Amino acid sequence: MEPGAQAGIEAASPKAGSERWKKWLRRIYSQRYLQVMALLGVAWMVVFNYIPMYGIIIAFKEYDIIFPMSMAPWVGLDNFREFLSDDMLLTVIKNTLGISLIKLIIGFPLPILFALLLNEVRSVMFKRWTQTITYLPHFLSWVILGGILATWLSDVGIINKILLSLNVIDAPITYLAEPKYFWSIIIVSDIWKELGWSAIIYLAAISSVSPELYEAATIDGAGRLQKMRNITLPSIMGTITILFILAVGNVLNSNFDQILVLRNQLNAEASTVIDYYVYQTGLIDNRFSYSTAVNLIKSVIALFLLLMANFVTKKLNNNSLF
């Protein structure tokens, strides 16, 4: 018998299988504390992410909160058809895609650029202060930041005072009462809140780049911009790709907390996005089945976008999430 065939038989024998099982158990036992920590995370995800998925069936029913879910009559795809024929459909899609795509186009590259520039700063003290100042807003909730923005953007707020003193405007503007300013306010405030925090992961990726690459480039006469373009960016491209895929999959989420705080009836034309529409129809109007159907459509589209972004990035630069 050939040696390869003999090794295959031994590997497939019950004794070899038993040894592999014992080895696996010993490894699990040696990592028991880490495994318990991991299991807690898995249990949390199952309880709060998978078990509630059973409630998706109410999208295909006419659910009334007074009666059990099992007693609700089936209506098939009626809730989906109702949404696709709703007068608010175009407004909701326009606002959601408009805000999210602009955030993606402008807000995604800015943390990368900020991390690259901050990495070039030689003063450690200046770098620390800059990081602290820029990521501090991330730790404030939108309830607090929304109140600050509402005060700044009022007709007697600091923004109007500055613009009036510079003769940029002739009369105060109540920005949150004007739909044409709402998208700009949402996008700029989101960047202000998340710029520094989003840059942290890129700075961590940059710190793992081998210093020898920069030393070799310096010997070859490369400048800072050349090092940034030819060493730093390619080295963190895997991190950029993964975060880009996740950002594309999240493009239909328009930051509900931010919208809820800054929205009012005067800017409703520009602020009614899918997440707020689901909240309004589900929790305010008590149309639970309809709002579930709308949210399910959004989730299916988000999954499709995630898969497409993963496929495209894998073809372009051989980096992907899975």
Confidence at 13, pLDDT banded by 50, 70, 90: low
SS3 274: helix
Q: What is the DSSP string of 48-85?
A: IIIGGGGGGGGGGB---TTS-GGGSPB-TTHHHHHHHT
Residue whose token pair is 């318990």? 36
User: What three-state secondary structure class fits 169?
Assistant: coil
3-state secondary structure of 61: strand
In this structure, what DSSP letter does residue 73 have? P
Superfamily in which the 81-317 domain is placed by CATH: MetI-like (1.10.3720.10)
DSSP of 306-321: HHHHHHHHHHHHS---
The model's pTM is 0.83
Residue 169 near residue 163 (C-beta atoms within 8 A): yes
pLDDT digits (tens, 9 = 90+) for 78-129: 999 999 999 999 999 999 999 999 999 999 999 999 999 998 888 889 988 9
| pLDDT tens sequence across 167-190 | 988 999 999 999 999 999 999 999
What is the C-alpha to C-alpha distance for residues 116 and 239, in angstroms, rounded to an integer? 14
Classify residue 150 by burial, with Cβ atoms within 10 Å: 0-12, 13-18, 19+: middle
Contacts of 284 (CB under 8 A, 6+ apart): none
